[in-house]
Amino acid sequence: MATPEKIGVLIVDDHELFRRGLASVLQEQDDLYVVGEAENGEQAIALSRQRPPQVVLMDVHMPGVGGIQCIPELKALCNPRILMLTVSQDSDDLMAALAAGADGYLLKSTRPANLCQAIRQVVSGGSVLSPEITAQVMQTAARHWQSQPAATSPLSKRETEVLQLIAQGGTNAEIAQRLTISEATVKTHVRNILDKMGAANRTDAVRRALALGIIQNQR
């Protein structure tokens, strides 16, 4: 059986002691290795040119070029997955990092085992957030939608009925029975709802519709 390819990780933090401790944690893993250490974004870019990493673990605030500032250049250079690893729980830092292209945002209080799993997760195409800051993302998104000017609902009357039933926890089969339509028709309505709301999934559509007042929370 072929040996799985190891994941190369670049550590970017202005505290040498923290970098060394983090490197020790990663080196204990059979599938992870450290390609280099940098103390700011400028060094991270230079090292990435020499030895492109698959994952960059990076602090937000560092002397010189900060972590968020260098994300676009790192992505353009070798397109690594980028995990912010920081003490900052500031919502502005969080949203700026995600907007710049970060694939995850973890606090330095994250347990070593969870950090290693997060690295594997982003390499597989996933995104990760520390549980402590997930609520901030939802609150910020809700504030954004609530701040938008009132507009006519993009949904038809039937689509609004379907979304209201989704918000109440209804399955496709239950919605079909309630509205006396086929499940196939329900699925078509759901696809149209996601498209019109610009939503990633049913839950996202419900959240956006609640924020805009298109449907009511009747739970």
pTM here?
A: 0.64
Q: What CATH number does the domain located at 7-142 have?
A: 3.40.50.2300
- The structure tokens listed for 47 are 């090292």
Q: What is the DSSP letter of 151?
A: -
Q: Domain residues of the chain, as ranges?
A: 7-142, 148-212
Output the pLDDT for position 219: 47
**How many Å apart are CA 131 and CA 161, to the nearest integer?**
33
**How many Å apart are CA 46 and CA 160, to the nearest integer?**
52
Question: For the chain, how big is the Rg over CA atoms in Å?
Answer: 22
Output the pLDDT for position 139: 63
Confidence of residue 74 (pLDDT cuts 50, 70, 90): very high
Measured at the alpha carbon of residue 204, what is the angle toward residues 132 and 118, in degrees to the nearest 5? 40
Fold of 148-212: Arc Repressor Mutant, subunit A (1.10.10)
Output the pLDDT for position 140: 60
**How many Å apart are CA 196 and CA 205, to the nearest integer?**
9
